[in-house]
């Protein structure tokens, strides 16, 4: 039972870390696109 609990804990931690990294990556990517958009928009006019 103890080994099973440890596996569950590790799985939960991995999922939480992966989820956090994914959210940060997506947020960073969106921020980068917005930044590029604001930089290029004045140049195109």
pLDDT of residue 37: 93
Residue at token pair 């921020």 = 31
Could you state, in order of their start, the residue ranges of all structural domains in the chain? 1-45
* Whole-prediction pTM: 0.60
pLDDT in tens, the chain (45 residues): 688 888 888 889 989 999 999 999 999 999 999 999 999 987 766
**Of 36, 18, 37, residue with least CA distance to 26:** 18
pLDDT of residue 2: 80
């Amino acid at each position: 039972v103890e080994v099973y609990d440890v596996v569950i804990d590790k799985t939960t931690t991995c999922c939480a870390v992966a989820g956090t990294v994914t959210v940060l990556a997506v947020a960073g990517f969106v921020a980068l696109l917005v930044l590029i958009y604001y930089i290029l928009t004045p140049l195109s006019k």
